[in-house]
């Protein structure tokens, strides 16, 4: 437990910035601020509580990358039970997205 949690919190944020580690701030629980830091293959959820305590949860990727087809499966699996009709994206929208992705890749190769 940290006595001056605000100083510890701001020092931690400065360390993330100096380390060029991307982060966002959220508030999901009473009396706590969450820092979500992302690094290649990992995401960290660090919660700083008003009482001075700190909790860290670390999510590590297995490295597997999925295509767009997994989206309907994920929605079906995790959506609210009342949500029973997963709409499939219109093919023309998907084609536009694919074309933009191809252009972006071509620009980065130059």
pTM over 0.95: no
Instruction: Give the domain CATH number at 12.
Output: 2.20.25
**Which parts of the chain have pLDDT scores under 70?**
1-3, 83-96, 105, 107-110
For 46-60, write each residue's pLDDT tens digit: 999 999 999 999 999
Number of H helices, E strands in the chain: 3, 4
Q: Are residues 16 and 37 in the same domain?
A: yes
For 95-108, write each residue's pLDDT tens digit: 667 777 777 767 66
Q: Are residues 9 and 56 in the same domain?
A: yes
pLDDT of residue 3: 64
**Owning domain of residue 27:** 5-60
Question: Do the domain assignments include residue 14?
Answer: yes
Strand partners, 5: none
Q: How many domains does the chain have?
A: 2
Single residue among 60, 83, 98 that ends a domain in this structure: 60
Question: Do the domain assignments include residue 45?
Answer: yes
């Amino acid at each position: 437990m940290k006595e001056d949690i605000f100083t510890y919190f701001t020092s931690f944020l400065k360390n993330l910035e100096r380390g060029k580690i991307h982060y966002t701030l959220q508030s999901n629980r009473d009396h706590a601020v969450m820092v979500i830091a992302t690094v290649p293959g990992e995401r960290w959820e660090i919660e700083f509580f008003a009482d001075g305590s700190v909790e860290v949860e670390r999510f590590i990727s297995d490295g597997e990358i999925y295509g767009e087809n997994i989206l309907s499966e994920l929605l079906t699996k995790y959506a609210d039970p009342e949500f029973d009709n997963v709409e499939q994206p219109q093919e023309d929208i998907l084609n536009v997205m694919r074309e933009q992705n191809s252009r972006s890749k071509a620009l980065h190769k130059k």
